Structure 1
Amino acid sequence: MALQISATNPEQPAVLLDLPWNTPLDQWPDECLVALPRGISRHVVRFASAGPEVVAVKEISERGAVREFGLLRDLHRLGIPAVDPVAVVTGRVDADGAPLEPALITRHLKGSLPYRSMFESTMRPTTVKRLMDALAVLLVRLHLAGFAWGDCSLSNALFRRDAGAYAAYLVDAETGQIQQNLSRGQRDYDIELARVNIAGELMDLEASGALHPSVDPVPFGAAIVQRYEDLWHEVTRESVYPVDKRHYIDRRIRRLNDLGFDVAEMQIERSPVGDTVTFLPKVVDAGHHQRQLLRLTGLDAEENQARRLLNDLESWMAGEEDYAPGDPLGARPEVLAHRWVRDVFRPTVRAVPLEMRGEMDAAQIYHEVLEHRWYLSEAAGRDVGLDATIADYLVNVLPHTVNAMTPPGTDTTGGLSP
């Protein structure tokens, strides 16, 4: 049987042919391998150079390789965080003509690490919790897409930090299956497997001395169940909000924030009866919102201010006609953020007279206006809008919050010209 390489890219087989397919994977020479951290796997896995790319090669049965290749391609089309499939190699034989196992090739996920490598230096409990949250987010997203994992564990995921955000990526889809919708029983099976597997993996780390002494494996394994349930409820609870009740969207965002998650993406679908809102959650590190706000808008704010402003920006962007995440023809977030600063943020701040600002900077003023809008809207049962909020804020809130002893000459404009 001749060597066959079935690839997603027609140019890929030529590059892959240079690899030593007539040699068992665990005997490949060092010159074609790349020294990267590997997780625990029931199969032989190696990282190799394939032209300009680094790929992961896994020896597996032909049926398993073809099936997993197809599942990974489906997940890629669905936009689920998972490793990218590259090719399946079959028809391998050694120098004596004896058959060798086929191989599944995936693209190395840059900046990602298996969980054991992340625990080589003892991680703080808060960081361990964020990794668990990232895995819960991944499991929710997989289930929303109709994917039953069948073997959710820390070992079958890769973790990546990007600008303070934590994300988990599926790396092993061997036991998975995709359906139109998952039953409650299928989801429960995945969740129970995750609980047992995670507790066991943390026990292994504990035995090796790589786990922080304050982390108890069993409660941490059980915690992912509650994190998943809370997140699933908040993300899947679909509601249609009347146009004049925009504060209901703020309420949903606040609940996600209270659960410890941020909003990675929000989509609003307009209809004659109201707006249907869907959220995509993510896990973030301290200081993430400050960095994100500064990058998008140039505004320098404290972390809590930045989170509130970013939530407002995200909500505003989702309502813009040219906002289309992933669409190359849609407006980029940086363009929309600039428009938000120009058309929303600056006019709101400038509506507060200079002499009334005290020591508050622009970000704090806008933050307080947003908070006041929330309370007014909740009380009124409808979105009261920015204009009515500012008018009420100037009369009933600002005089009581501004420090009357602000030294003369203090710059209270936050760098904004009046």
Structure 2
Amino acid sequence: MSLQISSAGPDSALLDLPWSVPLEDWPEERLAALPRGISRHVVRFAKLSGGVVAVKEIKAELARSEYRMLRALERLGEPCVHPIGVVTGRTDADGEPLDACLVTRHLQFSLPYRVVVSQHLRADTATRVIDALAVLLVRLHLIGFWWGDVSLSNVLFRRDAGSYSAYLVDAETGELHDSLSDGQREHDLDIAQVNIAGEFMDLAAAGVLPEDVDPITTAHEIITRYRSLWDELTGDEWFEAGERWRVDERIRRLNALGFDVDELEISTDLDGTSVRIQPKVVEAGHHSRRLMRITGLDVEENQARRLLNDLDAYRAATDRQGEDEAIVAGDWLRQVYEPMSRAIPPGMRAKLEPAEVFHEILEHRWYMAERLGHDVPIEDAITEYVRDVLPEKPDEAAVLGTDARYLPPDTEEGRA
């Protein structure tokens, strides 16, 4: 059997990778030292065309199925890793068959949950990670995706203005339907609770979980968070016929959660005294789409919310509320955002995404003002942040030298 590479965007450099060698034996010079989560398959990060790809060794049928599923989720705009291709027909030096490989693009500035929790030994970190996973699960369920293996290990996390955004990295067991039944959704929730409890127990055993974080209680939080968000996004709401403002209020609440409403079902009861509304189509990314439209910046949802708040403050400070939003946004980009981004030394730009740095500088400016008792020029906040805060942060574009599978708490690496 000859080597076959199936890819929607072929890269000839794929041919240079050592496909005739079992993945666990790939030479170090081919690999990138990035943090890896726990996986039932062999996974390696490899250098390719100036970037990094994740390679997972798996049966050919499963590799093709997962590749198709990731492509479908990406087309639907869901947060997941980008699939590059499937490599089949592998044989070793003796002509013995090897498993196929699924190749995906490494998600920059992303971290496995073990690295996130080990870097931030605080109870609220666990809560923010659970919140991010709950939001991802709701998004996937809204489009009819049944996951079948919900866990923190199958997700990567990116910083999002003090919170986290979750990205699906393992769709091996997933199924895409027109819609999901309540039973299918509850099945995913049951799987999530069991898996998360086990993962946090593992962290507790390793000594990297705060003592006040109970694995069972924390795992149950995903059900509470999920159901609250699901009900807000899809639940019925009744009100008196004269309270039509409640329709706009419902839409504003959904926008505040980061969702747009594309379609509403509105009906009245038999005597016309009560009105029922139910969102029929909701789409995540309300703030990020608005920011992209007026500035061209492509950032996470909470980052977009923070940047838009600063843009609104700039608009008010310059007394330009009556001007076209896009024109004001262009001036804000040139006078506020871009100068702040340029102020980051080139050697520190791999530490955080520019939008996350912007958020942290605004936070730092607020704390400086509180400490000093007066307003602080943004230039002073940038100078102090770059001098005192940013150098202490790890390079999250790479996090070189860390293996997330083993994080012994009594070592410097385990605490980093």
TM-score scaled to structure 2, two decimals?
Answer: 0.65
Q: 1:84 to 1:288 in 2, by over 3 A?
A: closer
Tell me the SS of whatever aligns to 1:199: helix
After TM superposition, the structure 1 = structure 2 runs for residues 183-262 of structure 1, keeping only pairs within 5 Å, are: 183-237=181-235, 245-251=244-250, 253-254=252-253, 262=256
Residue number in structure 1 paired with 2:15: 17
State the alpha-carbon separation in 2 of the partners of residues 216 and 175 from structure 1. Answer: 28
State the alpha-carbon separation in 2 of the partners of residues 229 and 275 from structure 1. Answer: 16
State the alpha-carbon separation in 1 of the partners of residues 127 and 154 from structure 2. Answer: 18
After TM superposition, the structure 1 = structure 2 runs for residues 3-402 of structure 1, keeping only pairs within 5 Å, are: 3-9=3-9, 11-12=10-11, 14-237=12-235, 245-251=244-250, 253-254=252-253, 262-269=256-263, 278=282, 280=284, 289-295=305-311, 298-299=314-315, 335=326
TM-fit CA distance, 1:253? 4.2
Q: Aligned Cα RMSD in Å?
A: 3.5
Contact 1:165–1:288 (CA under 8 A) maintained in structure 2 = no
1:130-174: CA deviation from partner (whole Å, max 9, x where unpaired): 110110011111111111100100111111113334211111111
Contact 2:262–2:283 (CA under 8 A) maintained in structure 1 = no
User: Percent identity of the aligned residues?
Assistant: 49
Tell me the SS of whatever aligns to 2:65: helix
Structure 1: tracts of 5 or more residues without a match: 302-312, 314-330, 342-418
Aligned residues: 303
TM-fit CA distance, 1:32? 1.2
Residue number in structure 2 paired with 1:404: none
- Between 1 and 2, higher relative CO (CA 8 Å, sep ≥ 6) is seen in 2
Contact 1:85–1:105 (CA under 8 A) maintained in structure 2 = yes
Q: 1:181 to 1:270 in 2, by over 3 A?
A: closer
Q: 1:336 to 1:220 in 2, by over 3 A?
A: farther
State the alpha-carbon separation in 2 of the partners of residues 78 and 118 from structure 1. Answer: 27
TM-fit CA distance, 1:282? 9.2
Which deviates further from its counterpart, 270-279 or 65-74?
270-279
Contact 1:83–1:171 (CA under 8 A) maintained in structure 2 = yes
Structure 2: tracts of 5 or more residues without a match: 268-276, 288-299, 333-416
TM-score scaled to structure 1, two decimals?
Answer: 0.65
Contact 2:23–2:44 (CA under 8 A) maintained in structure 1 = yes
Residue number in structure 2 paired with 1:306: none
1:298 aligned partner, one-letter code: Y
State the alpha-carbon separation in 2 of the partners of residues 49 and 286 from structure 1. Answer: 31
TM-fit CA distance, 1:53? 2.4
1:292 aligned partner, one-letter code: L
2:314 aligned partner, one-letter code: G
TM-fit CA distance, 1:126? 1.7
Q: 1:207 to 1:196 in 2, by over 3 A?
A: same
TM-fit CA distance, 1:119? 1.8
User: Which structure has the larger Rg over C-alpha atoms?
Assistant: 1
Residue number in structure 2 paired with 1:319: none
